[in-house]
A = this chain, B = another copy of it.
Amino acid sequence: MQSAPAIQKLLDELERLPGVGPKSAQRMAYFILNSDKGQALRLADAIRDVKDTVHFCSRCFNYAQAELCEICASDKRNRSIICVVSEPRDIPPIERTGAFDGIYHVLGGALSPMDGVGPEDLRIAELMARLGSEDVSEVVLATNPNIEGETTASYLARLIKPLDIKVTRPASGLPVGGDLEFADEVTLGRAIEGRQIL
């Protein structure tokens, strides 16, 4: 395909985005070409702005524009419960549930001996320092329910329990609205093990 070089460059850059293949890149590129200049530049500027102004929250390592992220800076959060997640991207889905009003700590990954990721590569020392200086009654270990996430959660639980802080983990079980018939065995096993009195 013979495209103008600037269009080819835009297609290449759009295709780097997650979930964007050649066809959706083309759709987006033609949308950008077709839209008025002001609107297209708002997207370009928004990209530039996040790279210029967003850094890590000095307390929890979520993305932030100020010294503290919006959640750490809020006076509506319960500071005695810290939810530990692997990445900043894990925070929005938890926030959307409305089921958590505590604050966060972002590890920056998960333990993975296979990939050479050890405790010193994660923000575990920073978490332990927070547990020493902040008045924390519970730590929710919301790492992913996969091998690396489970390993990380077990490791952290062993470190934190001696501090006399409650350590919890979100329940594993059947997805709401799902079909028992189609649940995988591991999930269904966890759901039965974790059965609750009604």
Residues of A at the B interface (CB closer than 8 Å) are 1-7, 9-10, 12-14, 16-20, 24, 26-34, 37, 39-51, 53-54, 63-66, 69-71, 74, 87-89, 92, 95-96
Complex Cα gap A47–B30 (Å): 11
Set of chain B residues within 8 Å of A7, measured between Cβ atoms: 50, 54, 63
Q: With A5-B65, A63-B4, A69-B4 as known contacts, state yes or no: A41 contacts B30, CB within 8 Å.
A: no
Q: In this complex, what residue of B is CB-closest to A94?
A: B1
A13-B42 contact, Cβ under 8 Å, with A1-B95, A6-B54, A70-B2: yes
Most buried by B among A16, A37, A44: A44
Number of copies: 2
A contact patch SS: helix
10 contacts between A and B (CB under 8 A): A1-B92, A6-B49, A7-B54, A16-B39, A29-B50, A33-B50, A33-B54, A33-B88, A40-B47, A41-B51
With contact pairs A19-B27, A24-B19 given, residues A74 and B2 touching in the complex (Cβ less than 8 Å): yes
CB <8 Å contact, A30 and B89: yes
Chain B min CB distance to A59 (Å):
14
CA distance A18 to B20 in the complex (A): 11
Among residues of B, the one whose C-beta sits closest to the C-beta of A47 is B44
The 5 A-B pairs with the shortest beta carbon distances in the complex, nearest first, are: A2-B70, A30-B89, A44-B47, A4-B65, A10-B46
Question: Is the CB–CB distance between A63 and B10 below 8 Å?
Answer: no
